[in-house]
Amino acid sequence: MNTPKKEVLLKIRGLEIQGYSDETWVDIIKGVDLTLHRGEVLGLIGESGAGKSTIGAAAMGYARDGTRISAGSIEFDGMELTTASESERRALRGSRIAYVAQSAAASFNPAHKIIDQHTEAPVHYRIQKRMEAQEDAMELYERLRLPNPGEIGFRYPHQVSGGQLQRAMTAMAMSCRPDLIIFDEPTTALDVTTQIEVLAAIRDIVDQFNTAAIYITHDLAVVAQMADTIKVLLRGNEVEEAPTEEMLENPQEDYTKSLWAVRSFQRPQKSRPTDGSKPVISVKNVDAAYTGGAKVLDDVSFDIYEGMTVAVVGESGSGKSTTARVITGLLPPMKGEVLHRGEPLPPKYTDRTKDQLRQAQMIYQMADTALNPKVRISEIIGRPAQFYSGLKGAALKNRVDELLDLIELDPSKFYNRFPPELSGGQKQRIGIARALAAEPEFIICDEVTSALDQLVAEGILKLLDRLQNELNLAYMFITHDLATVRSIADEVVVMQHGRVVEHGPKDEMFKPPHHPYTDLLLSSVPEMDPNWLTTLLEERGVDNVGEAAKVG
């Protein structure tokens, strides 16, 4: 890792980028320097809005729509990109500098086969003929351990799973054997178990071809596995840069230290009440399916007691959100029932009384789409208060103010505003207030922190914890993030393929022996140790990465 530095490939000096908003140009990158040598992997980390992706695109001489490079120099292999013509810059893209995007599902064109998109650049640059390029693609698919490398490219993107697509995109980036690849959060949208396959594949192929890379992520543990050097960014400025091990062991700046310490929040674990009270919500032997589809829930049962947090974990498609839909009555189960304090709830929400409806409130993952952008905050929060409690006029206004106080937003400032004027964390707080307005005993939190930056997410978790103590709420906390589970859960339900595979108090769940699937989930969570991935792959054996690692 610390071999003598080779030839400089990319040199960025004093880079400034502006974005156009509200009819003026605003600085988003405020003078960043960056040096990358051949074969080196640089990790760029920071919260959203730090300008990581913008710098990544700028390294390709590309300014996204609505942004412009306003100052500084970008020198790639001796060529100054800021003064080069558009066609000169375009000639580098895909051939010498390639890009791997965050969501492969969105970044592959749905209208064309994967292999046709793969071969587009090499054929366009006349590096290979179409047939040669296809053969080369299959070879890369094989190296990236994609199943059926000879056939998978001839499928359309929607016919391939997310983790496979992400590897296919890495293969596509390799198609012209570029000198530099920009990886823009390539595993953020993936499950932990899939993430490992992709990380291992990326690291292998970057090593094999000695490609330099800029690896952009907000996940410290991931960057620790991938990068030789780490650069920390905050709001368009560089905070610090150091070799990976040094950065992990001895961060200099306060901001970096706060990023490192973000997962420190942990609340004491509670246990079930012993006075014989009934659980607030109890799911009993539920089977469910969407119209015309196969069964997605199979005999799911668990209880949630007053004042407790039950974390429901599992990969995407394991049935976590479907269980929430059954509890709220959005999806009537085929078999089984949902009880509220021992009383069965009608399967369909339309058959439930107002009092039954108010008991199960939801907070959603994407506060952006869960709040109507054209409705004022006062109405978003006021509407459930009016609907469930019949409040009007001054009483309603007082209640909204009270709720805004509860979520630590100043009523005088936020009462009349609209959701788009708020930050991500503030929007999520409004989502919480809306759930609280119904005065429920039980709230379903569906991945409420996964779209947020770590510092903001921690604030939301602390708020939820405080509200739980003050209002004696029960939470069902749907998440795929085991770090969140560690910090807030009392009990854990592990789901896989629509079944509950393990269920128990948190402290027991995090101690071996585990169900093999729980074990796979736990061991797949990246750790800060830079050798974690290497060690894990050795333990599992290469054959256990990818499809083979799926546990029955």
CA pair distance 44, 216, nearest whole angstrom: 5
Torsion-angle region of 257 (φ positive above 0: left; ψ -120 to 50: alpha; else: beta): alpha
Give residue 78's identity as a one-letter amino acid code: G
DSSP H/E element including 119 = helix 114-124
- Rule CB under 8 A: which residues touch another protein? 57, 60, 62, 64-65, 90-95, 98-99, 101-103, 106-112, 120-121, 124-125, 155-156, 158-159, 172
Q: Which residues does residue 80 pair with via DSSP β-bridges, in sequence order?
A: 75
**Count of Cβ atoms closer than 10 Å to residue 262 Cβ:** 16
Nearest CA among 232, 229, 224, 225 for reference residue 201: 225
Give how far the C-alpha of residue 551 lies from the chain's centroid of Cα atoms, to the nearest Å.
Answer: 23
Nearer to another protein, 53 or 356 (CB): 53
The answer to whether the beta carbons of residues 60 and 99 sit under 8 Å apart is yes
Nearest CA among 308, 285, 291, 282 for reference residue 498: 285
Nearer to another protein, 178 or 384 (CB): 178
Exposed, middle or buried, 266 (CB in 10 Å: 0-12/13-18/19+)?
Answer: exposed
Q: Are strands 67-76 and 180-184 parallel, antiparallel or unpaired?
A: unpaired
Nearer to another protein, 155 or 397 (CB): 155
- Per-residue buried b or exposed e for 427-437, using 16+ beta carbons within 10 Å of the residue's own CB: bbbbbbbbbbb
How many residues would you count in the chain? 552
Nearer to another protein, 94 or 530 (CB): 94
CA pair distance 445, 23, nearest whole angstrom: 38
Nearer to another protein, 106 or 375 (CB): 106
Shortest CB 107 distance to another protein, Å: 4
CA pair distance 203, 207, nearest whole angstrom: 6
Nearer to another protein, 121 or 525 (CB): 121
Nearer to another protein, 369 or 412 (CB): 369
Nearer to another protein, 94 or 425 (CB): 94
Shortest CB 552 distance to another protein, Å: 22
Task: Tell me the backbone φ, ψ of residue 213, rounded to 5 degrees.
Answer: -150, 150
CA pair distance 227, 209, nearest whole angstrom: 16
Q: Which residues does residue 29 pair with via DSSP β-bridges, in sequence order?
A: 17
Shortest CB 114 distance to another protein, Å: 12
Q: Are strands 180-184 and 499-505 parallel, antiparallel or unpaired?
A: unpaired
Nearer to another protein, 10 or 404 (CB): 10
Nearer to another protein, 97 or 304 (CB): 97
Shortest CB 44 distance to another protein, Å: 17
Shortest CB 190 distance to another protein, Å: 16
Shortest CB 174 distance to another protein, Å: 12
Structure tokens at 394: 């001054």
Give residue 322's identity as a one-letter amino acid code: T
Structure tokens at 106: 């969105």
Shortest CB 175 distance to another protein, Å: 9
Alpha helical stretches, state H, 329-423 = 354-359, 367-370, 377-389, 393-406, 411-414
Long-range contacts of 288-297 (CB under 8 A, 24+ apart): 288/322, 288/325, 288/326, 288/331, 288/332, 288/333, 288/334, 289/334, 290/331, 295/334, 295/498, 296/322, 296/498, 297/322, 297/323, 297/326, 297/333, 297/498
Shortest CB 138 distance to another protein, Å: 19
Shortest CB 248 distance to another protein, Å: 31
Shortest CB 242 distance to another protein, Å: 29
CA atoms within 13 A on the CB side of 401: 7
CA atoms 376, 354, 402, 487: torsion sign: negative
Shortest CB 193 distance to another protein, Å: 21
Nearer to another protein, 92 or 443 (CB): 92
Nearer to another protein, 211 or 479 (CB): 211
Instruction: Look at the block and give the residue holding tokens 């580098």.
Output: 92
CA pair distance 395, 380, nearest whole angstrom: 16
Shortest CB 1 distance to another protein, Å: 29
Nearer to another protein, 78 or 110 (CB): 110
Shortest CB 126 distance to another protein, Å: 12
The answer to whether the beta carbons of residues 100 and 41 sit under 8 Å apart is no
